[in-house]
Amino acid sequence: MPWEIRTNWREGWATTRFHGRVTTNEVIEARAILANDPARRPGLRMVMDFEQTTELDLTPAQIRRMAALWSEDPAAGLADETWRLGLVASTPVQYGLFRMFEQLRTSIPDQVRVFEDRAEALAWAGIDESATGGPVARETVTLGGGCFWCLEAVFDGVDGVLSVQSGYAGGHAPNPSYRQVCAGGTGHAEVVQVVFDPARISFEEILRIFFTIHDPTTPNRQGADVGHHYRSIILVHSPAQHEKAREVMEALEAERIWNAPLVTELEPLEAFHPAEAEHDRYFERNPGAAYCRFVVEPKVARARAAFAHRFDG
């Protein structure tokens, strides 16, 4: 496992350990999990341990974006004096990993510190890791079914989902932008990368929710949204996911829910490119926008009605 997370939300702390080669997606996943609602109360304490890391797969532009993501939300408790973020690096070379946190360390040096020793960082943050049962299990799948604003808004509220990141996948161009993907020249689909705890929600139920909130029978189209980047696609992260997805799709076909056959593509994920920061939590930040009111909101309502046990309130 490239990284693991331990949490004790009751006591208000979380820790992460990164192993080997750390990718952009893994840092985004960690940030997304730690920024979920339970973590947004003031006083959250975190320790991020990079001591076993051999490589950080981030470009300078991505590092700047990660710094912005980590510091953009005042609700995450950054203004609270009891908020703590300890960063662990065992060798001077690895301090380069923390360029992404420079903005935080500069603005709140008493709340963000770098340590060579993990025990020292935990003590400074007031964290007792023995108070949790162990790492949170996690599994990841990448899904495309129309505009990623819709899918993100739905899965962001599902119990058992740890994080959701909008992005682009299934194409051929490196580092695509939103404008390039919408123009249709990159081959990418708008997707969301969903990280979930398989002990709390099954992969099959993730897929059932996915098929409830989009029409998998219309090629390259969802309602008025037309284009190859709006195609229905499941990008699996393991052979086991591929087999289960195939079984779910066959079962749905047998149930005759739709009057036409499924056109959902099923293939392994080759590369995932996170979308620009302005797309993060788009529905949450723009509930009054026309697209959100007339397209996103009905899909959220449909999911809540069909899977009420998976949503709070």
Of 222, 200, 221, which is closest to residue 299 (Cα–Cα)? Answer: 222
Q: Is the sign of the CA dihedral 156, 162, 167, 168 positive or negative?
A: negative
Residue 206: strand, helix, or coil: helix
CA 209 to chain centre: 17
Select which of 147, 150, 182, 292 is catalytic.
Answer: 147
Q: How far is CA 170 from CA 16, 22, 145, 205, 219, in A?
A: 29, 22, 13, 23, 15
CB of 9 closer than 8 Å to CB of 44: no
Cα(301)–Cα(294) distance, integer angstroms: 11
Exposed/middle/buried for 135, CB within 10 Å: 0-12, 13-18, 19+? Answer: middle
Rounded to 10°, the helix 148-155/297-306 angle is 40
Structure tokens at 13: 């702390």
Q: From residue 149, how far is each of 170, 192, 204 by CA, in Å? A: 18, 9, 22
**Using the 8-state DSSP alphabet, how is residue 71 labeled?**
H
Longest dimension (CA), the chain: 62
Q: How far apart are CA 159 and CA 76, in angstroms?
A: 20
147 annotated active-site: yes
Active site residues: 147
